[in-house]
Amino acid sequence: MPIAAQKITPCLWFDTEAEEAANFYVSIFKNSKIASVNRYGKEGHDVHGKPAGSVMTVEFEIEGQKFVGINGGPQFKFTEAVSFQIPCKTQEEVDYYWTRLTEGGKEVACGWLKDKFGLSWQVVPKQLSEMLSDKDTAKAGRVTKAFLKMKKFDIEALRRAFEGKE
């Protein structure tokens, strides 16, 4: 089943962990699935160097967004220059995604984390954007000061800062 319905599909380069990563992500996000797993054949071994039968690509979908994971080798690593943002309505959602995605990974800062594959994610309360775009720059400033001290976002602490009740 080709993944051509969406105009742009992110392709994530892994060394050998594409299938493991796809299964990990699909286990975290509802409405997600593995669409297909394609394997290297004997052809092209002199170029790709991968054993025949090993996973070449995994096509998967998370909440309607299609992705491809490719096992291309160790040449390229993920950096913070690209991240995936998860907008959350509640603290429970923030906590859920933060806990699951940091399993084997690490907390960074300001809602950012790296998962166990080195991919960067931002777990962000939807309310944050509203607070930061408030016409009262003092409110937005207090929220900024508060979130810069956080790793995982705390919606109630952000709200207190916004209201000047720090």
pLDDT of residue 2: 53
Q: Which of 154, 78, 72 is nearest to 115 (CA)?
A: 78
Which segments of the chain does DSSP mark as H helices, in order? 18-28, 45-48, 91-101, 126-132, 137-147, 155-162
- State the fold for domain 11-71: 3.30.720
**Tens digits of per-residue pLDDT, 57-91?**
999 999 999 999 999 999 999 999 999 999 999 99
CATH 3.10.180.10 positions along the chain are: 83-162
Among 149, 88, 146, 143, CA closest to 121: 88
Tokens (6 digits) for 89: 């309505």
Q: Taking residues 10-34, report their average pLDDT.
A: 97
- CATH 3.30.720.100 domain extents, the chain: 11-71
**155 pLDDT exceeds 50?**
yes
Please name the CATH architecture into which domain 83-162 falls. Roll (3.10)
Going by pLDDT thresholds of 50, 70 and 90, the confidence category of residue 6 is: confident
Token duo for residue 116: 């166990």
The pLDDT-based confidence of 1 (bands split at 50, 70, 90) is very low
Would you state the structure tokens that stand for residue 43, as one six-digit string?
């052809």
